[in-house]
Amino acid sequence: MSLKNKNILVTGACGFIGSHLVEELVDHGAKVKAFVYYNSFNNWGWLDNIETHKKDSIEVISGDIRSIDSMKDAMQDVDIVFNLAALIAIPYSYISPSSYFKTNVEGTLNLLQLALDHDIEKVLQISTSEIYGTAKYIPIDENHPAQAQSPYSASKIGSDALATSFYNSFELPLTIIRPFNVYGPRQSARAVIPTIISQILSGKKEISLGAPNPTRDFTFVRDTVSGMRRICEANTNGKTINLGSSKEVSINDLAYLISDIFGKEVNFKFKDQQRMRPDSSEVDQLLCDNNLLIETTDWSPQIQLRDGLSQTIEWFKDNLHFYKSDIYNI
């Protein structure tokens, strides 16, 4: 399916991945509606910072996915929906679990009901590798059991289950995309890579981090949104598809790789208590089995980790003023 001239709604468009996805879709000829979280400042998040010609080509709609009324207008005359609207910060989910269920579960339900009412051609529900929890086997394929190791992951398990139920019960054309750890320009400072980069750029010689041993499968954001687009173009209804590089690195090795790219000696203070998850909540290993993605599309990651980190560092050098690097952001 070609996306040229398709009317596509992206929820969560003001965020890290959502803003990059909007750009990817515009670059491939889609007519994009960007659904952003309403605020009285009329702030469009990272969409405020994209190139002017791209910004001018999209329709921005402010609302709240938790309110079905504010979603109704956004769903008018739409062919395809990418649902990225979600609360995603794991530490804050320990403090306010209910807010995660209201946004991630009830919000997804609102979207699914409206998609059914409007005969949407395809819904892409964006999931997360966090739903797998600590790997029971590696690499992790789509049949790996879900494990709710945080309120955040529980809320995403719930939203994925709702999406699957709408496909099974009502034949809503739907695909679940399950990205592994995405990184790159515009990522929140609560994530480990921006935490390290922003503090080094701020001149800090000692950087506090959480557990050093967990491993993650990092994929550069532009590779990720390219994968999302290609999944949308393919015949994937009813499928759940992992999206990752199929390479893992420990947080310890990642930290020292970043300091090596900078060419600076940094003292990393691991196991900082405020950054540690509860023992049973820590996800120790994530490694993507991306065979289904490769079989279904012609996607493959183009940006290797060192190159992606270098590009991310260069972006942060020009955009550090958007971050409060001296404050731990949960």
**pLDDT band of 155, cuts 50, 70, 90:** very high
Please tell me the predicted confidence (pLDDT) of residue 328. 76
Please tell me the predicted confidence (pLDDT) of residue 271. 83
Tokens in use for 201?
């750029």
Please tell me the predicted confidence (pLDDT) of residue 268. 93
Tokens in use for 37?
């979280």
Residues whose CB is less than 8 angstroms from the CB of residue 279 and which lie 6 or more positions away in sequence, other chains included: none
**pLDDT band of 103, cuts 50, 70, 90:** very high
Q: Tell me, rounded to whole angstroms, the distance of Cα 91 from its chain centroid.
A: 16
Please tell me the predicted confidence (pLDDT) of residue 158. 98
Please give the residue that has the higher pLDDT: either 326 or 120. Answer: 120
Please tell me the predicted confidence (pLDDT) of residue 229. 98
Can you tell me the distance from the alpha carbon of 18 to that of 11, in angstroms, rounded to the nearest whole number?
7
Please tell me the predicted confidence (pLDDT) of residue 242. 98
Residues 222-243 as b/e (b if ≥16 CB within 10 A, e otherwise) read bbbbbbbbbbbbbebeebbbbb
Specify the amino acid at residue 249: V
Alpha helices by DSSP H, listed for 39-191, are: 52-55, 68-72, 90-95, 97-100, 107-117, 151-170
Q: Give 37-56 pLDDT, tens digit per residue.
A: 999 999 999 999 999 999 99
Q: Give 257-311 pLDDT, tens digit per residue.
A: 999 999 999 999 888 777 778 888 899 999 999 999 999 998 999 999 999 999 9
Tokens in use for 64?
């709240």
**pLDDT band of 191, cuts 50, 70, 90:** very high
Alpha helices by DSSP H, listed for 118-250, are: 151-170, 192-201, 221-233
How many C-beta atoms surround the C-beta of residue 263 within 10 A?
6
**pLDDT band of 151, cuts 50, 70, 90:** very high
The domains of the chain, with CATH numbers, are 7-182+221-243 (3.40.50.720), 184-216+247-284+304-322 (3.90.25.10)
